[in-house]
């Protein structure tokens, strides 16, 4: 019953978000944006513990999702000029449009304090993104802390504003774990991964130029993932079972073991 | 006469805004600060902050309050320019390399998003919900307008209404809300801030039409880019729209494409200019200016009112 309840709230919220962002020409040209359901779940599950999810709560959750979708959309604007001009143009504008919608909903509520909190989160996220893009970090811990801020600054500001900060650490760990696994997938598919680029640069700067650098990159990555999982498991033990089983896709991240990507085997 | 002379009595307050803009982009992240400063130092007319300040003068003027609105609107404008340069693949703006050219698209996207967030941060110093409702509605409309501009590229069957709606969203709205929000921050009555919104809207419409005319009539030196760029990029502006009414000219204009030889484009531009389309566009611009001045008539006399009037007239006469 509890699982049905949270799924119902998620479907309703998803529908509300889709209604907000619907724009015929944008969708026809670049497609509808992908709404991160794991993140949506993280925004909604605290309400299940409280036992109620009002229309106002739905509006609040939607604003956090809209701004995240805006930032994620802007991530698709490539560094290079390889994409089609019109696709790039509309991707920039779609992101701007979604961030305008977040502001519009909060202005209508009205909740000026949350507008400010989210604005602070956007500032922090973009500062961290620039730091990461410049590969300025001096350690893997620093790099992961930065990734954590990028992935969870909005959700933690949201939790704090809505008095739900006890869930912040779980969201932070889960979101950064999801990102790390996402980076691994990029790397496995031969795409650019900022994490693996950083690790390779970092290890090369350590003076380790042996043939095993690639292997060490993997060891560093696997260790970071294991540590995160361990930390998460401790925090999740405190949650009721039905929360853990509500969205398997998110929590199964915990039970997947990183497998050494084939790319290493081929290079080795 | 220079534009700045028309509001010289605001000199100290404009300097305060400039100082605040510098503080607004003072990030601990060096690259972000450099990129933001790169655009800020390129200057600009700061016309939106000027409208904010002058409109606030119609009410309880407090620079410590109104500066938040002025800085927010200039930052939103700057953020949109940074993203526009990614959209247009532009290398030069205000005589300097763009952020996307100096660094890359990714840095430009992050800088634009950062500036937008800083703008909202400043704006939240204004605690009147109506101010946020006005601004957020305008931002959403502005985005819809920009999307429509891309959708309408090389679409030669559009009408006057399409054009006017597009320039309203693209330019006039932000000027209109600059005026309205300045007045709201000065705690004026709704009839006054709504009047100032209409004033800004009419001025903005006149401003954009003039801009579109100048793209046909100015020299490359005056524009800082080759004349006729709008048409070449498929933006059907008012002079082109009027010229399309002529069937022979229509056939020529409909053949415009982005890699058209310069000589052929110049020949079409000459035909558009000699068709009387520019004069007709200019007449419409003047009609908007007249409407703007009528809105001002109802406000009590003041130095700010005179400046708003002078700026509107200046915009009507500008040559580049």
pLDDT digits (tens, 9 = 90+) for B211-231: 999 999 988 777 767 788 899
CB pairs under 8 A between A and B: 138
Tell me whether residues A127 and B144 touch, CB distance under 8 A.
Answer: no
Report the pLDDT averaged over residues A234-258: 69
- In 3D space, the residue among A114, A144, A115, A113 whose CA is nearest the CA of residue A224 turns out to be A144
CA gap A179, A162 in Å, rounded: 25
**Phi, then psi, of B295 in degrees rounded to 5:** -60, -40
pLDDT score of A80 more than 60? no
Q: Please give the radius of gyration of chain B, using alpha carbons only, rounded to the nearest integer.
A: 20
CA gap B211, B318 in Å, rounded: 9
CA gap B170, B87 in Å, rounded: 14
pLDDT digits (tens, 9 = 90+) for A131-165: 998 887 889 999 999 999 999 999 999 999 999 99
Report the pLDDT averaged over residues B289-309: 95
**What residue of A is the nearest CA neighbor of B136?**
A104
As a three-state string, the secondary structure of chain B is CCHHHHHHHHHHHHHHHHHHHHHHCCCCCHHHHHHHHHHHCCCCCCHHHHHHHHHHCCCCCCHHHHHHHHHHHHHHHHHHHHHHHHHHCCCEECCEECHHHHCCHHHHHHHHHHHHHHHHHHHCCCCCHHHHHHHHHHHHHHHHHHHHHHHCCCCCCCCHHHHHHHHHHHHHHHHHHHHHHHHHHCCCCHHHHHHHHHHHHHHHHHHHHHHHHHHHHCCHHHHCCCCCHHHHCCCCCHHHHHHCCCHHHHHHHCCCCCCCCHHHHHHHHHHHHHCCHHHHHHHHHHHHHHHHHHHHHCCCCCHHHHHHHHHHHHHHHCCC
pLDDT band at B320 (very low <50, low <70, confident <90, very high): low
**Phi, then psi, of B7 in degrees rounded to 5:** -140, 40
Can you read off the two tokens belonging to residue B187?
A: 């705690």
pLDDT value at residue B9: 92
pLDDT value at residue A268: 32
**Residues B162 and B152: beta-carbon distance below 8 Å:** yes
How many domains would you assign to chain B?
1
Tell me whether residues B80 and A96 touch, CB distance under 8 A.
Answer: yes
* Higher pLDDT among residues A259 and B231, named by residue: B231
Tokens 């000589």 sit on residue: B263
Chain A residues within an 8 Å CB radius of B132: 103, 106-107, 110, 112, 115
Chain A residues within an 8 Å CB radius of B104: 79
pLDDT value at residue B57: 97
CATH code at position B60: 1.10.600.10
Q: Which long-range contacts (CB under 8 A, 24 or more apart) does B90-96 make?
A: B92/B224, B92/B225, B93/B39, B93/B42, B94/B42, B94/B43, B94/B44, B95/B42, B95/B224, B96/B38, B96/B41, B96/B42
pLDDT value at residue B17: 97
- In 3D space, the residue among A245, B134, B260, B306 whose CA is nearest the CA of residue B314 turns out to be B306
Query: Of the candidates B28, B113, B132, which has its C-beta nearest A126's C-beta?
Result: B113
Can you read off the two tokens belonging to residue A43?
A: 């925004």
pLDDT value at residue A206: 77
Least confident of B69-83, B90-104, B277-291: B90-104
Chain A residues within an 8 Å CB radius of B127: 112
Tokens 């599950």 sit on residue: A45
pLDDT > 90 fraction of chain A, expressed in percent and rounded: 62
pLDDT digits (tens, 9 = 90+) for A210-237: 657 778 888 899 999 999 999 888 888 8
Q: How far is B123 from chain A (nearest CA, A)?
A: 9
pLDDT digits (tens, 9 = 90+) for A26-53: 999 999 999 999 999 999 989 988 889 9
Tokens 């040559």 sit on residue: B319
pLDDT score of B165 more than 50? yes
Least confident of A71-85, B68-82, B243-257, B300-314: A71-85
pLDDT score of B43 more than 90? no
Report the pLDDT averaged over residues B227-236: 91
* Higher pLDDT among residues A50 and A59, named by residue: A59
Residues in chain B: 320
Cα distances (Å, whole numbers) of residue B161 to B7, B138, B167 = 34, 19, 10
Least confident of A89-93, A195-199, B94-98, B246-250: B94-98
Query: Of the candidates B31, B105, B124, which has its C-beta nearest A79's C-beta?
Result: B105
Report the pLDDT averaged over residues A120-129: 97
As a three-state string, the secondary structure of B185-236 is HCCCCHHHHHHHHHHHHHHHHHHHHHHHHHHHHCCHHHHCCCCCHHHHCCCC
Query: Of the candidates A80, A86, A123, which has its C-beta nearest B150's C-beta?
Result: A86
CB proximity A86 to B under 8 Å: yes
In angstroms, how far is the first alpha carbon of chain B from the final one?
13
CA gap B62, B42 in Å, rounded: 28
Give the mutation candidate from B69, B75, B78, B117 for the A interface (greatest A CB count, under 10 A): B117
Q: How far is A264 from chain B (nearest CA, A)?
A: 29
Chain B contact residues (CB < 8 Å to A): 27-29, 31-32, 80, 83, 86-87, 89, 104-107, 109-111, 113-114, 116-118, 120-121, 123-124, 127, 129, 132-133, 135-137, 139-140, 142-144, 146-148, 150-151
Query: Of the candidates B86, B107, B136, which has its C-beta nearest A92's C-beta?
Result: B86
pLDDT value at residue B219: 81
Tell me whether residues A100 and B114 touch, CB distance under 8 A.
Answer: no
DSSP, residue by residue, chain A: -HHHHHHHHHHHHHHHHHHHH--HHHHHHH-PPPP-HHHHHHHHHHHHHHT---HHHHHHHHHHHHHHHHHHHHHTS-SSS-S-HHHHHHHHHHHHHHHHHHHHHHHHTT-HHHHHHHHHHHHHHHHHHHHHHTT--SSHHHHHHHHHHHHHHHHHHHHHHTT-GGGHHHHHHHHHHHHHHHHHHHHHTT---HHHHHHHHHHHHTT--STTHHHHHHHHHHHHHHHHHHHHHHHHTTS-HHHHHH-HHHHGGGGPPP---HHHHHH-
pLDDT band at A88 (very low <50, low <70, confident <90, very high): very high
In angstroms, how far is the first alpha carbon of chain A from the final one?
51
Tokens 């655009």 sit on residue: B39
Q: How far is A97 from chain B (nearest CA, A)?
A: 5
CB proximity A137 to B under 8 Å: no
CB atoms within 10 A of CB A163: 9
Query: Of the candidates A77, A90, A101, which has its C-beta nearest B105's C-beta?
Result: A77
Tell me whether residues B132 and A78 touch, CB distance under 8 A.
Answer: no
CB proximity A79 to B under 8 Å: yes
Cα distances (Å, whole numbers) of residue A237 to A50, A163, A231, B257 = 18, 21, 10, 63
State the Cα torsion B274-B279-B285-B287 to the nearest 10°.
-160
pTM of the model: 0.93
pLDDT value at residue A265: 42
* Higher pLDDT among residues B317 and B131, named by residue: B131
CA gap B153, B151 in Å, rounded: 6
Q: What angle do CA A59, A64, A67 make, to 5 degrees?
A: 120
* Higher pLDDT among residues B39 and B316, named by residue: B39
- In 3D space, the residue among B134, B82, B73 whose CA is nearest the CA of residue B108 turns out to be B82
Domain that holds residue B32: 3-316
pLDDT band at B27 (very low <50, low <70, confident <90, very high): very high
Least confident of A69-78, B11-20, B38-47: B38-47
Give the mutation candidate from B110, B131, B154 for the A interface (greatest A CB count, under 10 A): B110
Tell me whether residues B124 and A96 touch, CB distance under 8 A.
Answer: no
Q: How far is B207 from chain A (nearest CA, A)?
A: 23
pLDDT value at residue B100: 92
pLDDT score of A81 more than 80? no
CB proximity A119 to B under 8 Å: yes
Report the pLDDT averaged over residues B46-69: 97
pLDDT band at A254 (very low <50, low <70, confident <90, very high): low
Averaged pLDDT score across all residues of chain A = 87
**What residue of B is the nearest CA neighbor of A127?**
B29
pLDDT band at B143 (very low <50, low <70, confident <90, very high): very high
Cα distances (Å, whole numbers) of residue B49 to A131, B41, B118, B198, B308 = 31, 16, 16, 17, 12
**ipTM topping 0.85:** yes
pLDDT value at residue A248: 60
Report the pLDDT averaged over residues B263-279: 95
pLDDT value at residue A245: 66
């Amino acid at each position: 019953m509890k699982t049905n309840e949270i799924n119902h709230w998620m479907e309703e919220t998803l529908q509300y978000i889709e209604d907000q962002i619907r724009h015929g020409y944008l969708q026809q040209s670049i497609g509808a944006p992908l709404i991160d359901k794991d993140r949506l779940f993280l925004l909604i599950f605290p309400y299940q513990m409280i036992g109620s999810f009002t229309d106002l709560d739905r509006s609040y959750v939607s604003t956090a999702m809209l701004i995240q979708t805006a930032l994620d959309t802007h991530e698709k604007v490539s560094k290079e000029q390889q994409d089609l001009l019109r696709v790039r143009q509309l991707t920039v504008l779609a992101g701007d449009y979604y961030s305008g919608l977040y502001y519009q909903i909060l202005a209508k509520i009205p909740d000026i304090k949350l507008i400010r909190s989210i604005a602070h989160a956007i500032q922090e996220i973009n500062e961290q993104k620039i730091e990461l893009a410049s590969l300025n970090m001096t350690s893997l811990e620093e790099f992961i802390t930065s990734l954590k801020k990028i992935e969870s600054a909005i959700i933690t500001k949201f939790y704090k504003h809505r008095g739900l900060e006890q869930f912040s650490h779980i969201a932070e760990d889960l979101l950064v774990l999801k990102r790390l696994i996402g980076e691994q997938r990029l790397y496995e598919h031969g795409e650019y991964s900022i994490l693996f680029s950083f690790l390779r640069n970092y290890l090369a700067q350590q003076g380790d130029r042996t043939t095993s650098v690639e292997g060490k990159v993997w060891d560093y990555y696997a260790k970071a993932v294991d540590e995160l999982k361990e930390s998460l498991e401790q925090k999740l033990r405190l949650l009721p079972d039905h929360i853990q089983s509500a969205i398997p896709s998110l929590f199964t991240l915990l039970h997947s073991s990183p497998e050494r990507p084939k790319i290493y085997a081929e290079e080795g | 006469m220079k534009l700045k002379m028309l509001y010289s009595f605001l000199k100290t307050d404009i300097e305060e805004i400039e100082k605040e803009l510098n503080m607004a982009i003072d990030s601990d992240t060096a690259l972000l600060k450099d990129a933001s400063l790169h655009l800020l130092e390129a200057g600009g007319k700061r016309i939106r902050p000027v409208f904010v300040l002058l409109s606030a003068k119609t009410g309880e003027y407090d620079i410590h309050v109104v500066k938040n609105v002025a800085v927010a609107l200039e930052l939103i404008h700057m953020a949109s320019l940074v993203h526009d340069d990614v959209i247009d693949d532009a290398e030069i703006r205000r005589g300097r390399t763009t952020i996307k050219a100096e660094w890359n698209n990714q840095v430009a996207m992050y800088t634009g998003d950062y500036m937008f967030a800083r703008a909202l941060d400043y704006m939240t110093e204004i605690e009147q919900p109506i101010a946020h409702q006005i601004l957020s509605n305008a931002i959403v409309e502005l985005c819809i307008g920009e999307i429509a501009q891309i959708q309408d590229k090389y679409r030669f069957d559009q009408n006057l209404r399409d054009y006017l709606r597009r320039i309203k969203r693209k330019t006039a709205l932000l000027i209109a809300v600059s005026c309205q929000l300045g007045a709201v921050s000065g705690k004026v009555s709704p009839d006054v801030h709504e009047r100032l919104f209409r004033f800004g809207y009419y001025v903005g419409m006149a401003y954009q039409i003039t801009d579109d005319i100048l793209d046909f009539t100015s020299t490359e030196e005056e524009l800082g880019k080759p004349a006729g760029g709008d048409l070449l990029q498929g933006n059907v502006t008012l002079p082109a729209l009027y010229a399309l009414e002529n069937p022979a000219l229509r056939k020529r204009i409909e053949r415009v494409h982005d890699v058209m030889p310069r000589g052929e484009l110049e020949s079409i531009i000459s035909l558009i200019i000699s068709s009387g389309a520019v004069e007709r566009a200019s007449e419409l611009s003047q009609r908007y200016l007249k409407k703007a001045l009528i809105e001002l008539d109802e406000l009590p006399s003041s130095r700010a009112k005179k400046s708003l009037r002078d700026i509107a007239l200046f915009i009507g006469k500008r040559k580049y």
